[in-house]
Amino acid sequence: MRELKIYNTLKAEKEVFKPITEGFIGMYVCGPTVYDNIHLGNVRTFISFDMIYRYLLHLGYKVRYVRNITDAGHLTDHNTEDKITTKARLEQLEPMEVVQKYTVDFHEVLKQYNLLPPSIEPTATGHIVEQIEAIQTILESGIAYVVNGSVYFDVLKYNETENYGILSKQVIEYGIENTRELDGQSDKKNPQDFALWKKAEENHIQRWNSPWSVGFPGWHLECTVMSTKYLGSQFDIHGGGMDLKFPHHECEIAQAQVCNHKTPVNYWMHTNMLNLNGKKMSKSTGNSILPSEIYTGTNPLLSKTYSPSVSRFFMMQAHYSSILDLSDSALLSAEKGFLKLMNAIETLEQISAADISTYDVNALEEKCYAAMSDDFNTPILIAHLFDGVRIINSLKSGKESLNISDLEQLKTIFNIFVTDILGFISHKESNGNDLTNNIMELVLQLRGNAKKSGDFDTADLIRNELDKVGVQIKDGREGSSWEVK
RNA sequence: GGUAUCGUGGCCGAGUGGCUAGGCAGUGGUCUGCAAAACCAUCUACAGCAGUUCGAAUCUGCUCGAUACCUCCA
């Protein structure tokens, strides 16, 4: 199998990837908390991991991809209530209605962006029993304590024998004098401690029985429990957004370390943020844009609508680990580039083979694999694909030629990288309609006749009127063609 | 205050010690009835200062600036 390099946040360097079991990969990615519509920044993370998943599959690995849905336990800021519960109260819904509503939204959006579904999509509320068992284990190890029906993880005690901060490189602060505002109400021994179980207040709707209180699990615990359950106590890849690195992933490592006595994950991958107006998109600050606003064009920042494929292309033009800034002009240029790429693929279907090849298709394929195998470098891949686009257009005009096997190989390359790995789909499916094709053939023929007889008024009329309804005429050396814009 | 990442041409965005990334926009040309598309050519660059080196956008130090995390966020 081809060598693959992955930037491992845990080691802070690029490493050659070696799965625990040859040919198999266990991958866990933190999913959304379904208390609201996901915004485009959330989508970026899932698209990045979709691309990663697709490439791993393409390389021939059997991948078990687990991506959770957080439907309980995610606390709001400075509050004892969780996000789902808060939303349920605001919308006067059952918590599970909130969960259902936004889970459906999540899935619909990801479908628009052509994401493959994960192998398993577990929920926090479906694993309450496992979470309670894990808390018991941690309590028995003496790394957690019970206060007023809630259970907290003792970070300082853990840090005596283990390294809390191994992932985020944070150095925990001993002593409370360094902390900013210590919440007087808090049951915690230290502000760094985090909740494993919270006792439910009277008005808290989501609640389960436990040995300590009627309450609900802490946010960090679900990922530990579910990744362990489905991928084992040690697995290959754990991913998530950069903003989850600390404290969420740090806490996951600590919990798993106490429960299973081994480091849970070999490769930690963190995808970077999508910025809007120079700042991270965020639900809580309102600096965000919804996927639906992109394809309906309802956001004031956008001059027009953009298809999901265009925004997917826009994201793939940046490396997953870089911050990416969204703007109308960036989407506009992405759209042009995307159409150029997709048009070339259509053109490729019309190319006929020649006797000799004037271009090294093998070298192109090698470059594409090299780019992807170097920490999933999609911008470099796309640069190479545009090299292929240039060749395709030259093939059409006769400046380059390919023999039959090279031509087939070029088609395969585009199929693999554009469709299978980058996950782009042409949004011009309507071009394939037989009726439309036949009518357009006639129209082009009539216009061609008009041109031949010098009737350019008619020729231009046809071209202009078609342009108004979104069809572009392209006159080439060997005749005219058309496409839906 | 702590931790981390980053500062690349008109814009977006790769590269990380010597060899043109790429896309969009611009300019010149080919083609065209004209235009568009396409193709060819081409311009604008590595935040600043000092150091290491035969050679640095790439390594080191400092300065300035930006962002993220440290309290919920993909």
* Nucleotide nearest A171 (Cα, C1'): B3
**Which run of H or of E encompasses A480?**
strand A479-484
Side by side, which strands form the sheet with A144-147? A144-147, A150-153, A194-199, A215-217
pLDDT of A180 > 50? The answer is: no
Which of A94-103, A128-137, A220-229, A393-402 shows the lowest mean pLDDT across its residues? A393-402
| CA end-to-end distance (rounded Å), chain A | 41
pLDDT in tens, A80-95: 567 888 888 888 899 9
The stretch A375-381 carries a mean pLDDT of 94
Class of residue A65 by CB neighbours under 10 A (exposed 0-12, middle 13-18, buried 19+): buried
Residue nearest B38, CA–C1′ metric: A393
Tell me the CA–C1' distance in angstroms for A270 and B13: 19
Tell me the CA–C1' distance in angstroms for A428 and B23: 21
ipTM entry: 0.92
The stretch A161-176 carries a mean pLDDT of 77
How far from chain centre, in Å, is Cα A426? 19
* Nucleotide nearest A242 (Cα, C1'): B74
In whole numbers, what is the pLDDT of chain A averaged over residues? Answer: 89
Q: Which residues contact A353 (CB under 8 A, 6 or more apart)?
A: A402, A403, A404, A407
Give the C-alpha separation, A382 to A371, whole Å: 9
Would you tell me the crossing angle of helices A128-140 and A219-231 to the nearest 10 degrees?
100
Tell me the CA–C1' distance in angstroms for A471 and B11: 28
The strand ranges marked E within A173-291 are 194-199, 215-217, 235-241, 265-271, 274-276, 279-280
What does the pLDDT read at residue A432?
A: 58
What does the pLDDT read at residue A182?
A: 41
pLDDT in tens, A108-146: 999 999 999 999 999 999 999 999 999 999 999 999 999
* Nucleotide nearest A483 (Cα, C1'): B37
Tell me the CA–C1' distance in angstroms for A171 and B1: 14
Residue nearest B36, CA–C1′ metric: A474
Measure Cα distances from A360 to A300, A341, A357, A421 in Å: 46, 19, 8, 22
Would you tell me the crossing angle of helices A40-58 and A308-316 to the nearest 10 degrees?
70
Q: Is A134 helix (H, G, I), strand (E, B) or coil?
A: helix
Q: Is A465 helix (H, G, I), strand (E, B) or coil?
A: helix
What does the pLDDT read at residue A85?
A: 82
Structural contact between residues A148 and A198, judged by C-beta atoms closer than 8 angstroms: no
Strands A13-16 and A5-8, sheet pairing: antiparallel
Report which residue type is found at A303.
Answer: S
Tell me the CA–C1' distance in angstroms for A477 and B39: 12
* Nucleotide nearest A75 (Cα, C1'): B72
Q: Which nucleotides of B are covered by protein (CB under 7 A)?
A: 2-5, 11-16, 21-25, 31-40, 66-74
What does the pLDDT read at residue A81?
A: 63
As given in the structure block, the two tokens for residue A351 are: 């190319």
Percent of chain A with pLDDT over 70: 94
Tell me the CA–C1' distance in angstroms for A322 and B50: 29
Percent of chain A with pLDDT over 90: 63
What does the pLDDT read at residue A181?
A: 42
pLDDT in tens, A311-363: 999 999 999 999 999 988 899 999 999 999 998 998 898 888 988 888 899 99
pLDDT in tens, A418-466: 999 999 987 655 455 778 888 888 999 999 999 888 899 999 999 989 8
- Return the bridge partners of A58, or none: none
The stretch A11-34 carries a mean pLDDT of 94
The stretch A374-390 carries a mean pLDDT of 94
* Nucleotide nearest A285 (Cα, C1'): B73
Give the C-alpha separation, A204 to A219, whole Å: 16
**Which run of H or of E encompasses A381?**
helix A378-397
Q: Where are the domains of chain A?
A: 5-271, 275-421, 430-484
* Nucleotide nearest A30 (Cα, C1'): B74
CATH number for the segment(s) A5-271: 3.40.50.620
Strands A479-484 and A265-271, sheet pairing: unpaired
CATH number for the segment(s) A275-421: 1.10.730
Tell me the CA–C1' distance in angstroms for A30 and B58: 34
